[in-house]
Structure 1
């Protein structure tokens, strides 16, 4: 049954889902139209919101580009490739391969979303390389499905922001410690449940042998761009210092000292910047010289095109949703019909709907927090569960929103239509786990 559902959804996606850039443009038009029709704002005001917000994610776009290239460079180093190859050797069949990828990706994303998103896709490539009869599309889709766990893990942005002094909601509801969000029975149930579900659902979506789409061998070729350059006896001083391991260790010294000081002061606070610093520091050591690492970065940078062109459109959409009040109107549709018992689930669905226009955990807290959290307080609901409902809705609907799939697709060399049918299938079945956790625990 699951395989039949995934085949049906894949056929629908192939017919109707446009390229992610066109998808972002269509969302821009829809958000603009709804803002004019449903809020007091004029078209001129909506145009101004869009333009003012268009470049708001430049810093975040650079962070995400660095996640992709530093993660890719780290994974392309000899020691990491050897470790991934050793782990991939556990799987002997296509079924074992997708289950191993699903489990590894779900666990990695629960530890840190940036790490899991990149390493999951790289590991899926390695499994495809070792098991030629694997369905490459399903392997990459399974790696992305592991992203379902991220907002219940250690890098979850909403609960971490809600627990941080100075966040936008502190004056309204106070701080919500992570003991009331991440370290709760319902969150542990949901996160562990997803870690179990992802490999199982991937196994059930495995196509019959005659229906497997063989991977283009060119996509799995070993990347040799980062190999060390052998210098001849007539090499210049400039060439020798470029290929010097001493220079790599100097960079690593700076990185390790900073990270040590950071964690000493902040504790176990892993964010996207510290992940990038760790990726860069370890990556340059494993590639041994600055230029070997630069070649690895150059090979990875070609995959950042989608991030650079699409993220500004989502920045414009987010500002239109936030500043026009449209996000609040949509949220209130759900909040106004909720009771104390149904509130977490309805907040979850409102967050899922908002995610099409604001595919960002932090953005959800800004757009939805001012409406969801005071309503939860007035109804006497658990504020921690209300915050997690916002977080879960964002994580869940990522399976139908191609925004976060871009890094994985860039690494894999695939298009969004290749994987989204599988991801939407995972969305349908994982929704049960989220609802049970929010409503019954």
Structure 2
């Protein structure tokens, strides 16, 4: 049954889901019309909010580009290639391959979402080269499905925000005077056990969804041959070290490479000594960057790796500003608060957490940034939790759960992975729709139980 459902949703997505760029444009139109109907922003007010949002996300778009490029460049380093190859050898059947990719991606995303996306994708590509008859889009879908539990994990923006005193978006502190430690959010039993259950059960679900051999779409022999040829060419360039001119000696100088890397490592070590093992997006980029520089050994080797990796970043450059426009429109016109208010109005003590989870899932389709969504929905959620005599902390985490949930049918966060894999959103969204349904059932039940 799982296999048939996976095949059904795959056919539907292939037929009806447009390119991710068109998906973003359609969402823009929908949010624009809703803002005109349900807010008093007016036509030009809505236009201005949308336009401002486009440019407000440029720094974040660059961060995401660097997550993709530095992560991909790191994976092109010989030691990392050998490590991924060793892990890939464990998977000798399609079912094992899919389960392994989803499990590794899930655990890594729980630790840090950017790390999980890239590692999962690179492992999927490595396994696709080795395991015959494994469905390549399903492998990439498994890598993206690992992203499901990121907001329940260590890099979750909502639990980190409400754990930070004085943060402008710490709505719980503003209304109650309390700063909530992460032991009460991401490490609470009602959060961590569902997260671990979902990581394992989603891996098993996708392993059961593998298509029959005649319907599988493995990585083509031409693509495998092209990848192997690229690897041979890269290895030849790596071994062909020329020191004839001063410029060539600089380009291939290990001394220059390691002195530069030492500067970055010094900062990172000092940071972790001073502040403990806390991660943000810039730190992850920095870790990827300087690890890549070290493992590529020579400056010119790293430059070549970056030139190769940057080719997959086109989707981010084009579409992230469009989602910034949608986010600006939703927040600038007040539409996000209006939608959140609908769900509050129909809530009871028993259903409040579940309906906040659902509301966050709906809003995430238009504001797929966890931090942006909390800024838009957080205040009304915390206020409503006090009015209905429920815990603001759990209410805040319902926003986090909903934010991560509908990522499974929202291609925004899949763009780095799709660029890496050279696939389109429609290739994987049929499988991730299965994950959406399963995780929605699980988290809705948990939300009812903890009420």
Q: Could you say whether these structures have the same fold, taking a TM-score greater than 0.5 normalized by the shorter chain as the test?
A: yes
Matched, 1:210 2:219: no
Q: Which residue of 2 aligns with 1:122?
A: 122
Matched, 1:105 2:109: no
CA distances 1:196-239 after superposition (whole Å, capped 9, x unpaired)? 11211111111111111132234441444654252346x11111
How far, CA to CA, are the matches of 1:48 and 1:436 in structure 2? 41
What is the SS of the residue equivalent to 2:22? helix
CA distances 1:45-76 after superposition (whole Å, capped 9, x unpaired)? 11111111211111111110000000001111
After TM superposition, the structure 1 stretch with the greater mean CA deviation from structure 2, 142-151 or 429-438, is 429-438
After TM superposition, the structure 1 stretch with the greater mean CA deviation from structure 2, 176-185 or 422-431, is 176-185
What is the SS of the residue equivalent to 1:55? helix
Matched-pair contact (CA < 8 Å) for 1:219–1:412? no
What is the SS of the residue equivalent to 1:209? coil
How far, CA to CA, are the matches of 1:151 and 1:386 in structure 2? 14
How far, CA to CA, are the matches of 2:119 and 2:242 in structure 1? 36
Distance change (3 Å), C-alpha of 1:226 and 1:279: farther
CA distances 1:271-309 after superposition (whole Å, capped 9, x unpaired)? 111111111111111111111001001100011111011
Q: Which residue of 2 aligns with 1:35?
A: 35
How far, CA to CA, are the matches of 2:186 and 2:218 in structure 1? 40
Cα shift at 1:436: 2.5
Report the TM-score when normalising by structure 1.
Answer: 0.97
Cα shift at 1:176: 2.0
After TM superposition, the structure 1 stretch with the greater mean CA deviation from structure 2, 163-172 or 186-195, is 163-172
1:279 to 288, 313, 318: 288
Matches within 5 A, 1:241-256: 241-256=250-265
What is the SS of the residue equivalent to 1:269? coil
Q: Which residue of 1 aligns with 2:342?
A: 333
Matched-pair contact (CA < 8 Å) for 1:335–1:347? yes
How far, CA to CA, are the matches of 1:232 and 1:186 in structure 2? 59
1:183 to 182, 187, 191: 187
Q: Which residue of 1 aligns with 2:79?
A: 79
Cα shift at 1:341: 1.9
Matches within 5 A, 1:105-254: 105-167=105-167, 168=169, 169=171, 170-174=173-177, 175-220=179-224, 221-222=227-228, 223-224=230-231, 226-227=234-235, 228=238, 230-232=240-242, 235-254=244-263
Report the TM-score when normalising by structure 2.
Answer: 0.95
CA distances 1:10-33 after superposition (whole Å, capped 9, x unpaired)? 111111111111111111111111
Q: Which residue of 1 aligns with 2:322?
A: 313
What is the SS of the residue equivalent to 1:270? coil
How far, CA to CA, are the matches of 1:226 and 1:368 in structure 2? 48
How far, CA to CA, are the matches of 1:44 and 1:201 in structure 2? 47
How far, CA to CA, are the matches of 1:430 and 1:52 in structure 2? 34
Matched-pair contact (CA < 8 Å) for 2:242–2:249? no
Matched-pair contact (CA < 8 Å) for 1:244–1:290? yes
Q: Which residue of 2 aligns with 1:16?
A: 16
Q: Unaligned regions of 5+ residues in structure 2, if any?
A: none
Matched-pair contact (CA < 8 Å) for 2:128–2:218? no
Matched-pair contact (CA < 8 Å) for 2:6–2:434? yes
Matches within 5 A, 1:303-382: 303-382=312-391
Q: Unaligned regions of 5+ residues in structure 1, if any?
A: none
How far, CA to CA, are the matches of 1:123 and 1:84 in structure 2? 6
Cα shift at 1:248: 1.5
How far, CA to CA, are the matches of 2:330 and 2:175 in structure 1? 21
Matched-pair contact (CA < 8 Å) for 1:128–1:136? yes
How far, CA to CA, are the matches of 1:251 and 1:52 in structure 2? 38
Matched-pair contact (CA < 8 Å) for 1:229–1:243? no
How far, CA to CA, are the matches of 1:305 and 1:107 in structure 2? 27
Matched-pair contact (CA < 8 Å) for 1:163–1:178? yes
Matched-pair contact (CA < 8 Å) for 1:187–1:437? no
